[in-house]
């Protein structure tokens, strides 16, 4: 095996993601790279496709800035899958060529690149939102608890699925590190890009990767298809995570996907601990998350 491209021992930022995608595509030219749109600060939001099959599947990560480990989990899975496919090997006991023929997997590894950069590097006076961000972060220069985008909007409270109820439940009056739903659904370019991308690609199933909790959320107000629960049980069995039926949560990406398309959508809470999760946990987290990503390819 060639030397791995994706290094998992160091924090993962947008620059590394873009570079890894370029190197992966060089080594594995069958990877298709695209961009779903741009962040508030104009960063292209990358997407990568593996597979040519009729089962259209989507995984995303880092909707929340301080959950950037999910980007690394997804991009490591891209590398492992591409390596297995290109060398005709199995992917954790599954036939990678068959997976590639049966499914088209689109991954958006970092939905919120501006937020991830903020968590890693904070702000300096050149940052276009310098003063607001310091104010919204209560004067703290440490942004490691930041979840939102750089306008202080929580991207996973932005979707038109009972958005008003989520806003009222959260009761966060203005921009901040977390839980502010914005002035309306899809006001933020990252959330709008995800909605457009999802509509265009006609996915049969989606998974949004978050951290932490070792849980799998599979329902939304009874609108999910009846097979969702059994699918969640399969994902739980593959990973050791718990399948959890949620109430009193709206306006998330998977909520909107289920409501809009009546197809299976899942939120996966990887790992256990305080965000950002330490990379000492990466091998364990990866074995659990990769088991879910692989099982996901077999669900449809
Ligand atoms: Zn999250």
How remote is the CA of residue 286 from the centroid of ligand 1, in Å?
17
pLDDT of res. 2? 81
pTM, two decimal places: 0.98
CA distance 193 to 183: 17
For the chain, list residues with pLDDT below 50: none
The CA 210 to ligand 1 mean position distance, Å, reads: 4
Model confidence over 224-261: pLDDT tens digits?
999 999 999 999 999 999 999 999 999 999 999 999 99
Quick: pLDDT tens for 3-22. 999 999 999 999 999 999 99
What per-residue confidence (pLDDT) applies to 268? Answer: 98
Under 8 Å between Cβ of 65 and 176:
no
pLDDT of residue 1: 65
**Which residues carry out catalysis?**
269
C-beta separation of 108 from 102 below 8 A: no
Q: Check residue 232 and give its pLDDT.
A: 98
Q: Could you tell me if residue 252 is left (phi over 0), alpha (psi between -120 and 50 degrees) or otherwise beta?
A: beta
Distance, CA of 82 to CA of 50 (rounded, Å): 8
Ligand 1 centre to CA of 71 (Å) is 12
Separation of alpha carbons 23 and 27, rounded Å: 6
| Measured distance CA(66)–CA(149) in Å, rounded | 10
């Amino acid at each position: 095996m060639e030397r791995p491209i994706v290094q998992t021992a160091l924090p993962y930022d947008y620059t590394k993601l873009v570079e890894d995608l370029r190197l992966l595509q060089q080594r594995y030219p069958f990877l298709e790279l695209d961009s779903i749109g741009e962040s508030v600060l104009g960063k292209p939001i990358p997407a990568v496709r593996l597979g040519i099959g009729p089962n259209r599947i989507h995984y995303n990560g880092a909707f929340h800035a301080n959950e950037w480990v999910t980007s690394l989990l997804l991009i490591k899975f891209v590398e492992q899958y591409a390596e297995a496919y290109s060398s005709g090997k199995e992917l954790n006991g599954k036939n990678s060529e068959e997976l590639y023929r049966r499914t088209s997997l689109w991954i958006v590894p970092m939905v919120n690149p501006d937020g991830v950069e903020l968590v890693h590097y904070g702000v300096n006076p050149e940052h276009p939102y310098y003063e607001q961000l310091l104010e919204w972060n209560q004067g703290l220069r440490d942004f490691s608890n930041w979840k939102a985008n750089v306008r202080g909007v929580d991207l996973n409270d932005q979707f038109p699925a009972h958005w008003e109820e989520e806003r009222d439940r959260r009761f966060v009056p203005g921009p901040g590190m977390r839980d502010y739903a914005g002035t309306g659904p899809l006001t933020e370019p990252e959330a709008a890009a995800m909605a457009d991308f999802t509509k265009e690609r006609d996915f049969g199933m989606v998974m949004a990767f978050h951290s932490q909790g070792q849980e799998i959320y599979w329902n939304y107000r009874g609108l999910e298809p009846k097979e969702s629960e059994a699918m969640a049980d399969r994902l739980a069995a593959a990973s050791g995570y718990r399948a959890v039926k949620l109430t009193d949560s709206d306006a998330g990406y998977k909520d909107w996907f289920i409501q809009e398309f009546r197809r299976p959508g899942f939120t996966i809470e990887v790992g256990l601990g305080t965000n950002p999760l330490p990379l000492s946990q990466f091998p364990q987290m990866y074995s659990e998350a990769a088991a879910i990503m692989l099982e996901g390819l077999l669900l449809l």
